[in-house]
Chain A
Amino acid sequence: MTGTPQIESTSSAGFPAIRTVGVDGFLVSFAGQLDERANRAALAFRAALERESWPGVAECATSLVSAFLRFDLAACDHDSLRARLDTLLASRDWYDAPLPEGRRLWRVPVVFGGDHGPQLAEAAKLAGQSVEDAIATLCAQPVRVQTIGFAPGQPYLGQLPQNWDIPRQTGLTPHVPEAALVVAIRQLIVFSVGTPTGWRHIGQTGLRLFRPEADDPFLLRPGDEVLFHEAHDLDRLRKSPDGGAVAEALT
């Protein structure tokens, strides 16, 4: 089953919103929470910023529902850049933007629970499901790469059903390995590097998301979809090309 992720309601009042980030950045947010249309809007707005290539803009990126822009303080100022952002925002309905071209569906095997997902039972309980039902839910529908971030090539995948709106834990788990599957706030992440985290570790994949030696060092792109299925032999996954994952074009 490869149905599209569920379309969420349009963003709430007060968006899109332009806010400053640090001393030399702007963030254009299209919603205050994870939202399918706002995610599309952010991706399309960032693509438009790249096309505009205003002088003094150093870098653009997207997060889940926002587009980020960093600029050179010697070449521009906040007022003129904010005015340009206002004009660009008003130029179309960004929430109606299509998803990026060239999207792919990745079928990704995961070893759930046990040593490879020590917090699966805890996460399932917070979501009000048995461990078996939790695995079934997480594998039932594709989740979309809503953004790449935190670490190189690392996807934020969503959106899970409402009962998976579980908070991060208050303490940090000191180390979760590369390729781990973790969950919080209706999202899944596969870690691209080993890292401390507040998300709960529920499984392990064989994905290598960041390949600095390759021409294209990043495996996944925003807009790609990922459909997980349960596997049991992690060593075999790790030896397989792309960790046992296979991709097909999404039309």
Chain B
Amino acid sequence: MTRAITIHAASPGVSVQDKGRPGYLAQGLSRGGAADLLALAEGAALLGQSDDLAVLELAGGAITLSASDDMRVALTGADMRATLDGAPLVWGASHALPKGAVLKISPSRGGFGYVHLGGGLDAPVQMGARGAHLAAGLGQAVQTGDTIAVGPDTGHRTGLCLPAAALDTTLRLVPSLQTALFGDAALARLEATPLTKDARGNRMGQRLVPEGEGFATETGLSILSETIVPGDVQITGDGMPYVLLSECQTTGGYPRIGTVLPADLPKLLRAGPGTVFRARFIPLDEAAALERAEAKRRAGLSRSLQPLLRDPRDIPDLLRYQLVSGVTAGNELEEC
């Protein structure tokens, strides 16, 4: 019998994701894949496996599942509430998922969370990837009652965590193709305007609500449709900014006021609705340097792994632990 997880309940917005399908841009199919690529890397580091493996993405959704065998699980991305047979699990960490135990996850403040299984999800490959591209009708959302195969797991460590990523609320932008269309005054106003994350958002894009008037341009309604990349901040006809995400369209005619650095997208993806962001333009060479540094940091995440310290209040069988004997080196007492 193959290793698998069974989905006992799934709200809308749960899907199987991986790094998506690069290479079909010319045919109008965007890369898709996990919205939060940092979360993919964090889960891979926590489980000591490749970040090419498929995971569950919870786009603000909730899920209840159990495993056919003893497995390992890691939880990354936006903070969510997780319990295993009713006992709370620490987010941003790896845990044992014993056979038959019920893992229940529900959103706390919103955003995109990720559930990684040791060995990765062995969902069917379509056009070179396992990730569902919901906008393109490729694959589908995870449904209650689904069984998803899980690949062989060569690792065994659990109880690890990563230091929480330092996520502020500044979205750094580089100029985009149509940035100049808006004029210096509008660009300065964009940087000065509080931008509130709206409840409306999905894998295609996240709406931001500016304080005061929007950023509409007259000419913007008749510009030529042009290539779009994830992170582009599209201004629709009513002046509202949308940050386009991994499942965005490949071309579009609404002007883009700038492009959010890929390294800053997790800030937006992990925040709850109502979070206030600020936009700040930075020069392209600075942005390229930041991205190169972030790629290096992502690749070396496993060096930052720390043992997970359990909060004594969360340990129901506390009295079974020897609490006083032994000496600790001290460093494992750092909080994750």
Binding site for B on A (CB under 8 A): 19-25, 27, 32-34, 46, 58-66, 68, 70, 73-74, 77-78, 147-154, 156, 165, 167-172, 184-185, 192-193, 195, 198, 210, 212, 217-218
Of B5-13, B97-105, B151-159, B224-232, the one touching chain A: B224-232
Closest to A65 in B: B224
Chain A residues within 8 Å of B216, by CB: 170
Partner pick for A152 among B24, B174, B177, CB 8 A cutoff: B24
Say whether B330 faces chain A, with CB atoms less than 8 Å apart: no
Q: Is the CB of B227 within 8 A of A73?
A: no
Q: Is B198 an interface residue (CB 8 A)?
A: no
Of the residues B29, B230, B237, contact of A172 by C-beta under 8 Å: B237
Chain B residues near A167: list those with CB within 8 A: 221-222
B34-42, B52-60, B78-86, B249-257 - interface stretch:
B249-257
B252 partner residues in chain A, CB cutoff 8 A? 150
Tell me whether B126 is interfacial, beta carbon within 8 Å: yes
Does B262 sit at the interface, judged by CB under 8 A?
Answer: yes
Q: Within the assembled complex, what's the spacing in Å between the Cα atoms of A156 and B26?
A: 12
B residues within 8 A CB of A70?
25, 229
B236 is an interface residue with CB less than 8 A from chain A: yes
Tell me if B4 counts as interface (CB < 8 A to partner A). no
Q: A151 to B288, Cβ gap below 8 A?
A: no
Instruction: Evaluate whether A63 and B227 lie within 8 angstroms (CB atoms) in the complex, with A27-B177, A58-B22, A198-B254 already known.
Output: yes
| B138 at interface, CB cutoff 8 A | yes
**Residues of chain B within 8 A of A65, CB atoms compared:** 224
Docked Cα-Cα span, A84 to B319, in Å, equals 68
In whole angstroms, how far apart are the Cα atoms of A60 and B284 in the complex? 21
| Complex Cα–Cα for A63 and B227 (A) | 6
Q: Determine if B192 is an interface residue (Cβ-Cβ < 8 Å).
A: no
Whether B292 contacts A20 by the Cβ 8 Å rule is no
Alpha-carbon distance A193/B232, docked complex (angstroms): 22
Q: A46-B26, A198-B254 are in contact. Are A22 and B238 (CB under 8 A)?
A: no
Asked whether B225 lies within 8 Å of A212 as measured between CB atoms, the reply is: no
CB pair B288 A78 closer than 8 Å: yes
- A22-B176, A70-B229, A152-B136 known; A168-B291 Cβ under 8 A: no
* Chain B residues within 8 Å of A68, by CB: 25, 227
What separation, in Å, do the CA atoms of A186 and B259 have in the docked complex? 28
CA distance A218 to B287 in the complex (A): 35
A62 with B28: in contact, given A20-B284, A27-B227 (CB under 8 Å)? no
CB atoms of A34 and B224 under 8 A apart: yes
Asked if B27 contacts A218 (CB within 8 A), the reply is yes
Minimum distance in angstroms from B291 CB to a CB of chain A:
5
Instruction: Check if B1 is an interface residue, CB within 8 A of chain A.
Output: no
Q: State in angstroms the CA–CA spacing of A23 and B293 once bound together.
A: 13
CB distance from B33 to the nearest CB of A (A): 14
**Least CB distance, B34 to chain A, in whole angstroms:** 17
Chain A residues in 8 Å Cβ range of B285: 78
Does B316 sit at the interface, judged by CB under 8 A? no
Nearest-neighbour CB distance to chain B for A240, whole angstroms, equals 21
User: Most chain-A Cβ atoms within 10 A of its Cβ — which of B127, B224, B262, B291?
Assistant: B224
Q: List 17 A-B contacts (CB under 8 A).
A: A23-B259, A23-B288, A25-B229, A27-B226, A65-B224, A78-B288, A149-B250, A149-B251, A165-B222, A167-B222, A168-B221, A170-B221, A171-B237, A171-B238, A192-B28, A210-B29, A217-B27
Among residues of B, the one whose C-beta sits closest to the C-beta of A199 is B253
Given contacts A23-B287, A70-B229, A217-B127, contact A153 B28 (CB under 8 A): yes
* Known A63-B227, A64-B225, A172-B236; contact A23-B28, beta-carbon cutoff 8 A: no
Please provide the 5 A-B residue pairs with the shortest distance between their CB atoms, ordered closest to farther: A149-B251, A170-B237, A61-B26, A61-B25, A152-B29
Encode B14-27 as 1/0 by CB contact (under 8 A) with A: 00000000111111
From A165, which residue of chain B is reached at the shortest CB distance? Answer: B222
The complex places the Cα of A58 from the Cα of B174 at a distance, in Å, of: 20
Query: Are A185 and B229 interface neighbours, CB within 8 A?
Result: no
Task: Determine which of B127, B137, B174 lies in contact with A22 in the assembled complex, contact meaning CB atoms within 8 Å.
Answer: B174
User: Which of B135, B225, B262 makes the CB contact (< 8 A) with A23?
Assistant: B262
The 8 Å CB contact of B23, one of A59, A78, A192, is A59
Please determine whether B127 and A21 come into contact, CB atoms closer than 8 angstroms: no
